Amino acid sequence: MIIPVYNEEQTILQVLRKVYDFSCEDFEKEIIVVDDGSTDKSPGILKSAQTEYGFLFFSHDKNFGKGAAIRTGFEKATGDIITVQDADLEYEPADLIPILAEFKKPETQVVFGSRNINPHKRGYWHFVLGVKILTKIINLLFNANLTDSYTCYKAFRKEALKKIELNSSGFEIEAEITVKFLKAGYKITEVPIDYSPRRFSEGKKIGWIDGYKGFLTIIKIWIKKLP
């Protein structure tokens, strides 16, 4: 479980408790936290909590972006199945249980937790619309049938991850992961998850420019896919 952190002093301890406490049944947890140059109290909180929660801790000297933090975590991970957990409280770690259950099927390689299959809560309308548009573009260009390309809960076997090369440093890594798995021929299984969106006043960081970067990422990878 990779947890990228950037200025999340208000929520990171609660997230760590949830990650530490939830039972993933037949799976053993390896928790990797990557601080991406936080300027608040997050680094100190993480250092103090490391012994209690037993996670591996890595840090960047400055803020490079969520994608950079995730890629650092991927490089350090030794587990057979890898997933990402945001450092806020928008996602519930217990929702990883049905995602992990899919990997009991030998043929399963990539699983996404979709916020849009049975939605209970929605975020800002323009974010919902943006994700819907980007997902439809991905489906059209890569012959897929996804409902949520920008979900945080993406899980995959390490062997599959090794076969794609990731380069994004920002939030556009969500689009890059999705389309590169599709481009490589992997079937992405989706399972429903809950979602508790937070507001900008509570620390939400993604913005419209990230959607634009995601669109460019999709198009660039699609162009390379053409004969």
* Distance, CA of 44 to chain centre: 24
pLDDT confidence of 209, banded at 50, 70, 90?
A: confident
pLDDT > 70 in the chain, percent:
90
Which residues 6+ apart lie within 8 Å of 136 measured at CB? Answer: none
Least confident of 43-47, 62-66, 205-209: 205-209
C-alpha distances out from residue 110 to 80, 135, 184, 190, Å: 12, 17, 12, 9
C-alpha torsion angle, residues 149, 155, 161, 166 (rounded to 10): 40
The architecture (CATH level 2) of 2-225 comes to Alpha-Beta Complex (3.90)
pTM, to two decimals: 0.90
Write down the pLDDT at residue 227: 58
**CA terminus-to-terminus distance, the chain:** 36
Strands (E) located in the chain: 2-5, 32-36, 56-60, 81-83, 110-114, 154-157, 188-192
How far apart are the C-alpha atoms of 148 and 53, rounded to whole Å?
31
- The vertex-177 CA angle with 126 and 58, nearest 5°, equals 100
Element housing 131 (H / E): helix 125-142
The mean pLDDT value for 15-21 works out to: 94
Q: What is the pLDDT of residues 61-118, one digit of tens each?
A: 999 999 999 999 999 999 999 999 999 889 999 999 999 999 999 999 999 999 988 7
The mean pLDDT value for 146-162 works out to: 95
